Amino acid sequence: MTTAAGYVRVSTEEQAREGYGLAAQEQAARAYCQAQGWELVEVYADAGRSGKSMRGREALARLLEDAQAGRFQRIVFWKLDRLGRNLRDLLDICDTLESLNVGIVSIQEAIDTGTAAGRMVRSFLGAVAEFEREVITERIKAGIAEKARQGELVGPLPLGYKRDESGVVVFEEAVALLVREAFVRYATGAYSLRDMAHWADEVGLRSTEGNHLDRLSLRKILNNIAYTGQVAFHRRQGGGIVARGKHSAIVDAALFAEVQEALRNRQTHVPERPFGREPYPLTGVAVCHACGAPMLGCAVTVDRRWRYRYVRCSTAQRRGRDACRQPMVRAELLEDQVAAYVGGMRLPPEYLGEVVAELRRRQRGRVADDGEAERLRREMERWRRLFVLGEIDENRYRRETSPLKRHLAEVERPQEALDVERAVNYLRDVGRLWAQSPRGQKREFVREVFARIVVEGRELISIMPKPLYAPLFVLDRRERFGGDFCRMAPRAGLEPAT
């Protein structure tokens, strides 16, 4: 038998105006369940509670908790506005209940999402709501553009500015002086962006979050026209807005123009490839032993003819060589060390059957959780709605959704790119296959098999396999070196998987 719960709500104002109180709503819900042959488990009542918000509605909160616990299959109420008068809250409630396979039934609107027709109506309401969100988004964009035309800074304030208690944009005196000094120094042409990053460290100039300024951050500051007392909106895309701002200038227009000319003069060549497009097999896995930062791939062209591939510490790349002692290393040198180590693996045939069974067991345990992925998408959508409706700013939106996006990417990542038996054979013959494979395929292999590779100087000092592949490396350690895996691991620079 289908189980159902009733929900009734009325505010004092509605009861006085419409006269349709809790008792009448409950009677309607009971009669509907009786007519359908459903078992009514409980009636949840919010008396004297407004439907404009979910806050303060204890019965609704308890209803959602019981739905999570699986106490019923339907929720019956008089009208949709009993669940909520706020469209955003109403959609969130419906999304939550549908993810739990709990249908909603509105007696007045004849909606039952447990049926095909009801789901169609619900989809229609969702389409209308989506249209409304898009209209709101367009209004927000138009509002931001209008604020820029009126001279108000939009988005996060540039470094050196703050808002006082009345909301007016004013100087942060000490920081503003350093920002102006940065413009003056760079305009001389005697300093590179990397030199400027060193100078910023020395004088204590930091980002609004308190982080070190690298050369890319300095370039953004020196390119920001807001420091001249103007407001720009989509200026770099062409056809944007540049208006006189209501805030005071930190640098004058002549100094800003000199800095732009100096930036153009130092841009001696256009990179042959966009940053990050060159496939480097170890990027995303290799880290610097000295500072723990990721290692990045970069290309160096000599005499405009010879192009060499290097791997370098991202700290040194952003802040200069003095920031980290790890030198640039030829990419082929490190890649050959990976191939030599894995190519020398010895996997005893008598253990391979057991290893394959273990790998399959772990593979089954890593199947993506579709329910978790759906929950993360709903959570991201809720934050997007709050941002679109203007209830949170962009910084809060990015701060809340960034970890959700990372978690979702991990959940949805293909769990095993290699067939188990093929993985075993691949690892046994990887030395030869590595030499024959393109760099993109090598990168996929490294990311699939290894969790972390630590680089010190020009050598790999530590290789940690992912848990799925750890049994293969355990057998190899014992076969080649004997003894316990964890005890022997440092002899060949291999860490046990965690």
Q: Which residues pair with 10 in a beta bridge?
A: 47
Q: Quick one: which H or E segment has residue 83?
A: helix 80-83
The mean pLDDT value for 347-359 works out to: 62
C-alpha of 490 from chain center: 35
User: Quick one: 171 and 82 in the same domain?
Assistant: no
User: Quick one: 227 and 295 in the same domain?
Assistant: no
Domain boundary (388, 414, 440) is at 414
User: What confidence tens digit (pLDDT) does each residue in 290-304 have?
Assistant: 999 999 888 877 666
Answer whether residue 225 is part of any domain.
yes
Q: Give me the pLDDT at residue 2, please.
A: 87
Q: Give residue 387's pLDDT band: very low, low, confident or very high (50, 70, 90).
A: low
User: Quick one: 195 and 86 in the same domain?
Assistant: no
Say how far apart CA 375 and CA 1 lie, in whole Å.
Answer: 28
User: Quick one: 258 and 294 in the same domain?
Assistant: no
Answer whether residue 20 is part of any domain.
yes
User: Quick one: 300 and 400 in the same domain?
Assistant: no
Domain boundary (107, 130, 153) is at 130
Mean per-residue pLDDT over the chain, rounded: 77
Q: Give me the pLDDT at residue 348, please.
A: 64
User: Quick one: 31 and 101 in the same domain?
Assistant: yes
Q: Are 73 and 3 in contact (CB under 8 A)?
A: yes
Whether the pLDDT of residue 273 is over 50: the answer is no
CATH code at position 17:
3.40.50.1390
The total domain count for the chain is 4
11 is a catalytic site residue: yes
Answer whether residue 436 is part of any domain.
no
Whether the pLDDT of residue 84 is over 60: the answer is yes
User: What confidence tens digit (pLDDT) does each residue in 422-440 have?
Assistant: 556 656 666 666 777 788 8
Whether the pLDDT of residue 141 is over 90: the answer is no
Comparing 137-141, 241-245, 283-287, the range with the smallest average pLDDT is: 137-141
Of 11, 99, 437, 462, the active-site residue reads 11
Q: Which of the two residues, 458 and 156, has the higher pLDDT score?
A: 458
User: Quick one: 73 and 184 in the same domain?
Assistant: no
CATH code at position 182:
3.90.1750.20
Q: Give me the pLDDT at residue 239, please.
A: 55
Answer whether residue 348 is part of any domain.
no
Answer whether residue 465 is part of any domain.
no
The mean pLDDT value for 336-349 works out to: 76
Q: Give me the pLDDT at residue 167, please.
A: 78
Q: Range of 305's domain?
A: 290-337
Answer whether residue 391 is part of any domain.
yes
Half-sphere exposure of 236 (CA within 13 A, CB side): 4
User: Quick one: 108 and 13 in the same domain?
Assistant: yes
Q: Give me the pLDDT at residue 481, please.
A: 62
User: Quick one: 118 and 219 in the same domain?
Assistant: no
Answer whether residue 432 is part of any domain.
no
User: Quick one: 98 and 43 in the same domain?
Assistant: yes
Q: Give me the pLDDT at residue 445, please.
A: 81
Say how far apart CA 67 and CA 82 lie, in whole Å.
Answer: 17
The mean pLDDT value for 130-143 works out to: 70
Comparing 21-30, 61-70, 392-401, 412-421, the range with the smallest average pLDDT is: 412-421
Q: Is the dihedral of CA 189, 195, 199, 201 positive or negative?
A: positive
User: Quick one: 255 and 295 in the same domain?
Assistant: no
Say how far apart CA 387 and CA 396 lie, in whole Å.
Answer: 9
| Percentage of the residues of the chain whose pLDDT score is greater than 70 | 71
Domain boundary (414, 446, 473) is at 414
Answer whether residue 299 is part of any domain.
yes
User: Quick one: 195 and 238 in the same domain?
Assistant: yes
Q: Give me the pLDDT at residue 294, please.
A: 92
User: What confidence tens digit (pLDDT) does each residue in 431-465 have?
Assistant: 666 777 788 888 888 887 888 999 999 999 988 88
Structure tokens that stand for 269 in this block:
């060549």
The mean pLDDT value for 232-260 works out to: 83
Bridge-based pairing of strands 306-313 and 329-330 is antiparallel
Q: Give residue 340's pLDDT band: very low, low, confident or very high (50, 70, 90).
A: confident
Q: Give me the pLDDT at residue 455, please.
A: 94
